[in-house]
Structure 1
Amino acid sequence: MSDSSNSAGERFTLQPDTTGTGDGLRLEPVETDTAAEATEKEPSYGWTMVRELVETVVLSLVIFLLIRQVVQNYRIENHSMEPNFYEGQFVLVNKLAYRLGQPDRGDVIVFHNPRNTSEDYIKRIIGLPGDTVEVNNQTVFINGEALIEDFTHYPIPPGEYSGPFVVGDNQLFVMGDNRPNSSDSRVFGPIDQDLAVGQAWLRIWPLNEFGIVQHVDLPLAGAPVSQ
Structure 2
Amino acid sequence: MKTFIRDTMMIIMIAGVTIVGLKFTAQRFVIDGPSMATSFRDGEQLVVNKLVYEFHEPERGDVIVFRPPDNPRDEYIKRIIGLPGESVEVRDGVVFIHNGDGSAFPLDEPYVSTPAERDFKGDMIPENNYFVLGDNRNNSSDSRGDWTVPSQTIVGKAWLSVWPPAEWGLVFDYYADG
Question: What is the TM-score normalised by the length of structure 1?
Answer: 0.68
Distance 1:188 1:164 in 2: 8
* Shift in Å, 1:62: 5.0
3-state secondary structure, aligned to 1:116: coil
| More contact order relative to length (CA 8 Å, sep ≥ 6) | 2
Identity %, equivalent residues: 39
* CA deviations over 1:53-96 (Å, ceiling 9, x no partner): 9x94x875554232110000011011101111010110000000
Match of 1:179 among 134, 137, 151: 137
CA contact (8 A) 1:72 1:95 kept: yes
Q: CA RMSD in A?
A: 2.0
Instruction: Decide whether aligned partners of structure 1 residues 134 and 209 sit closer, same or farther in structure 2, where only a CA change above 3 A counts.
Output: same
User: What is the one-letter code of the residue matched to 1:86?
Assistant: R
Tell me the matched-pair count.
166
In structure 1, runs of 5+ residues without a counterpart are 1-48, 221-227
Instruction: Decide whether aligned partners of structure 1 residues 59 and 219 sit closer, same or farther in structure 2, where only a CA change above 3 A counts.
Output: closer
- Is 1:156 equivalent to 2:116 in the alignment? yes
3-state secondary structure, aligned to 2:135: coil
Deviant stretches of 4+, over 3 Å: 58-63
CA contact (8 A) 1:74 1:93 kept: yes
CA contact (8 A) 2:122 2:144 kept: no
In structure 2, runs of 5+ residues without a counterpart are 99-103
1:1-227 → structure 2 map (5 Å cutoff)? 56=12, 60=15, 62-143=17-98, 144-157=104-117, 160-220=118-178
User: What is the one-letter code of the residue matched to 1:74?
Assistant: F
CA contact (8 A) 1:134 1:165 kept: no
User: What is the one-letter code of the residue matched to 1:172?
Assistant: Y
Distance 1:196 1:188 in 2: 18
3-state secondary structure, aligned to 1:203: strand
Question: What is the TM-score normalised by the length of structure 2?
Answer: 0.85
3-state secondary structure, aligned to 2:174: coil
